[in-house]
A = this chain, B = another copy of it.
Amino acid sequence: MPNSKQVSIPTFKQVQKAYLKIRDKVHRTPVMKSQKVNERAGGALYFKCENFQKVGAFKFRGATHAVGNLSDEDAKNGVATHSSGNHAQAVALAAKQRGIPAHIVMPENAPKVKVNAVRDYGANITFSESTQESREATLEEVIQKTGATFIHPYDNPNIIMGQGSAAIELLEDKPELDIILAPVGGGGLISGTAIAASGFSPETKVIGTEPEVANDAYLSFKTGERHPVQSTDTVADGLRTSLSELTFNCIQQHVDDIVTVTEDEIIEAMRFIWERMKIIIEPSCAVPVAAVFNGKVDVSDKKAGIIITGGNIDLDHLPWQDFEN
């Protein structure tokens, strides 16, 4: 019998169905490889390039599925969320494509470029203070006023199912992968990825990767008890959130291991990929690359897929520049 904390997690069939629903609305992103990267890694790496996804991040998959899955009744007053990152743009564009309003709460100190991107997709923006409490309270007010449906960035089965579609495409292109690596923030991507692999390719191991300074998923996984994130002081700005009960359960059931890397390792791996592959990847997805480069995951003579989560970064402040000064 399930214990009281257990919540029902999405099935492989649900991830498959989600993929079929959204496949015409999302880009089928390319899988890239590089001889120089493989020489360094000592194995064959396959990059699933969600930095080329719409809005520049995999988040558009989950948002498209979650927004598309609402009943007309639930959808008619629009959708709402709070985010200063990729999820905000993803929900804004998914809502625009469905033809319903999007209400996005953003902290007043959010970068102007991100605010403009959300506005360009036609969303209504409400500013809050930058604390978590203020963001949640402001979102609550917006929902009260508009009747919009809240789209949580990861504590939502429909989001998890949508995120899993990236791994389905990756495994369709490269069915022989020994390992798939993805970063862990709130856990939506790694959950969807692991569920997808469990059904599509059960022999493929799925490994989560996390910054050492924001290692809540690592601690939760190792101890079997959910730990909230203690510090958000990582360059990997997409990974500063804690697991939810739902994503923790997905991880416990389907993820094979979680490893951590240092900030220096993240920045160095990110720069290496920019220089050798000529693609712009955000710090969050340099985390699994760093794990491979620094021996945290052994890929010798193996084939490993890595979900490149996105490419949204402030080009005026690159981490190796901040880092060196």
Q: Which residues of A contact B (CB under 8 A)?
A: 30, 32, 51-52, 56, 271, 274-275, 277-281, 311, 315-316, 318, 320-321, 324
Contact = CB atoms under 8 A, between A and B. Distances in A.
B320 A318 contact: no
A271 B320 contact: no
A234 to B, nearest CB: 21
Nearest to A35: B54
A98 B30 CA distance: 31
B311 A320 contact: no
A51 B320 contact: no
Nearest to A280: B278
A56 to B, nearest CB: 6
Contacts of A315: 271, 274-275, 318, 320
A85 to B, nearest CB: 16
A52 to B, nearest CB: 6
A56 B280 contact: no
A118 to B, nearest CB: 15
Nearest to A52: B278
A278 B318 contact: no
B52 A311 contact: no
B278 A278 contact: no
A311 B135 CA distance: 40
Nearest to A314: B275
A280 B274 CA distance: 7
22 contacts: A30-B30, A32-B52, A51-B278, A52-B277, A52-B278, A56-B278, A271-B315, A274-B315, A275-B315, A278-B279, A278-B280, A278-B281, A278-B311, A279-B279, A279-B280, A280-B280, A315-B318, A315-B320, A316-B320, A316-B321, A316-B324, A318-B318
Contacts of A280: 274, 278-280
Nearest to A324: B316
A252 B56 CA distance: 42
Contacts of A52: 32, 277-278
Contacts of A324: 316
